[in-house]
Amino acid sequence: MFVDKVKIRIKAGDGGNGAVSFHREKYVAAGGPDGGDGGRGGNIVFVADTNLSTLVDFKFKKRYFAENGKNGAGKRCNGKSAPDLTIRVPKGTVVRNAETGRIMADLSEDEPVVVARGGKGGWGNSHFATATRQVPRFSKPGLPGEEYEVELELKLLADVGLVGFPNVGKSTLISVVSAAKPEIANYHFTTLTPVLGVVSVEEGKSFVMADIPGLIEGASEGVGLGHEFLRHVERCRLIVHVVDVSGMEGRDPVEDFKAINAELENFNAELAARPQIVAANKCDMADEEQIASFRAFVEGQGYACYPISAPISEGTRELVFAVSRMLDTLPPIKQYEIDHVPLAESERFARNVFDVRVEDGIYLVTADWLMPTLGMVDMDDYESLQYFQRVLRQSGIIDRLEEMGIQEGDTVSILNFEFEYIR
């Protein structure tokens, strides 16, 4: 089964919590704080694997969660950081944020890409000991790992893309000029999935050609099979447009040529502007006048035209050399720029993103990043409350409340925790 587009959910591991612990040893009356730090959560890493050619595995497993970091412990023992979770995908896979559409990774190279980062581990209470606070009974929680729903889209890495109507001879051509062995038969839509073949030009020189299932009119709008695979020619440096010049099926080669280029234009204007060579196939079944007329039209449009007969390899060598010469002048295979990724939850922690509004005289503070911090605060411990107040001050929440005119005795609600404001 060939699958080239799926959605999955990924979540990096949460950081481990820092520990609250105090040194206990015989004959040591007052040991100090010795809580260790939490370990970092595991990252979600994508790696291109040349042994894979489809995304079919992701049809059956759609959730990928990295391990959380271990919590810290006493005696200044730091928690163990979690291992990264590696997800292998076919080379040429593009990873998008399913919600925003932003490109997060383009797996066109061998380098692994971190798509979701694990949360940092929290500090143990040993970090909070001062001359005036010698018994800190609080620690920092670990930060949450990034979580996304992502769309995986496979865009084949090929130098050359074969396009054309069904049954014009694309599969025959790629089978003749490369070692690829697609199914070949005399009916439309014989090729149901893209086929890659390596075309050898001379010793030490070759290029990759992709046979794209036949397009038909309306393909860019979802008609036929071609619309499912137009994405696979987006990376191609050069398009070889195969046309049945014989008109054996009662079709006009000129109109076919115009129709396919119109579909490319409708799908992607940049794709339509891509360099193109025209292969006038089945010339052994066409007369000289048909070939000459079509060639004159194509060259009048600014494209090179090569009459070929793929089944008997007539003209195919000349076509291959022409393609190779043009590729020498073209830029490398297109790679997608990674878009700016919105602030992850872990970064929002550091940036102290919050919102304050007033309803019925109550100051409502929204700050998701405060949730783990609040969960670690001991409301019965004075020093712990002081620490929480300092977090509010450093984050700018207290300043915002004062700017909004809060008075002593007014009620503040943070994550369903209510308290009276005291200057």
Place 16 in a pLDDT band, splitting at 50, 70 and 90: very high
Is residue 368 situated within a structural domain? yes
> pLDDT at position 97, please?
92
pLDDT (mean) for 283-294:
92
Same domain assignment for residues 151 and 179:
no
CATH number for the domain including 25?
2.70.210.12
> pLDDT at position 183, please?
53
Is the model's pLDDT at 206 over the cut of 80?
yes
Of 30-39, 335-344, 355-364, the least confident: 335-344
Q: Percentage of residues in the chain with pLDDT exceeding 70?
A: 85
> pLDDT at position 358, please?
87
Is the model's pLDDT at 24 over the cut of 70?
yes
Same domain assignment for residues 187 and 52:
no
Of 138, 155, 172, which marks where a domain is finished? 155
Is the model's pLDDT at 166 over the cut of 70?
yes
Same domain assignment for residues 315 and 364:
no
| pLDDT averaged over every residue in the chain | 83
Place 144 in a pLDDT band, splitting at 50, 70 and 90: confident
Q: Which helix (H) or strand (E) holds 93?
A: strand 93-97
Is residue 149 situated within a structural domain? yes
Same domain assignment for residues 7 and 147:
yes
Interatomic CA distance for residues 399 and 402, integer angstroms: 5
Same domain assignment for residues 129 and 215:
no
Q: Which helix (H) or strand (E) holds 97?
A: strand 93-97
Q: What tokens appear for 383 in the block?
A: 């020093």
Is residue 334 situated within a structural domain? no
Determine contact, residues 163/233, Cβ cutoff 8 Å.
yes
pLDDT (mean) for 48-57:
88
Of 155, 175, 210, which marks where a domain is finished? 155
Is residue 343 situated within a structural domain? no
Same domain assignment for residues 184 and 322:
yes
Global pTM reads: 0.69
3-state secondary structure of 145: coil
Place 421 in a pLDDT band, splitting at 50, 70 and 90: confident
Place 131 in a pLDDT band, splitting at 50, 70 and 90: confident
Interatomic CA distance for residues 219 and 417, integer angstroms: 57
Same domain assignment for residues 187 and 257:
yes
Is the model's pLDDT at 338 over the cut of 90?
no
Same domain assignment for residues 258 and 321:
yes
Same domain assignment for residues 213 and 113:
no
> pLDDT at position 182, please?
55
Same domain assignment for residues 150 and 15:
yes
> pLDDT at position 305, please?
95
Domain hosting residue 401, numbered range: 350-420
CATH number for the domain including 362?
3.30.300.350
Place 302 in a pLDDT band, splitting at 50, 70 and 90: very high
Of 104, 121, 155, which marks where a domain is finished? 155
Same domain assignment for residues 6 and 151:
yes
Place 199 in a pLDDT band, splitting at 50, 70 and 90: very high
3-state secondary structure of 367: coil
Is residue 338 situated within a structural domain? no
> pLDDT at position 364, please?
86
Is residue 177 situated within a structural domain? yes
pLDDT (mean) for 97-102:
90
CATH number for the domain including 243?
3.40.50.300
Is the model's pLDDT at 299 over the cut of 50?
yes
Beta carbons within 8 Å of 17's beta carbon, 6+ residues apart:
38, 71, 72, 79, 121, 122, 139, 140, 141, 142, 376
Please state the domain count of the chain: 3
How does pLDDT run across 217-266, given as a tens digit for each residue? 554 454 444 456 677 788 889 999 999 998 877 789 999 999 888 888 88
How does pLDDT run across 363-399, given as a tens digit for each residue? 888 887 777 677 667 666 676 777 788 888 888 888 8
Is the model's pLDDT at 12 over the cut of 90?
yes
Of 158, 124, 114, give the one whose Cα is nearest residue 334: 158
Same domain assignment for residues 390 and 361:
yes
Is residue 237 situated within a structural domain? yes
Is residue 196 situated within a structural domain? yes
Q: Percentage of residues in the chain with pLDDT exceeding 90?
A: 37
> pLDDT at position 352, please?
64
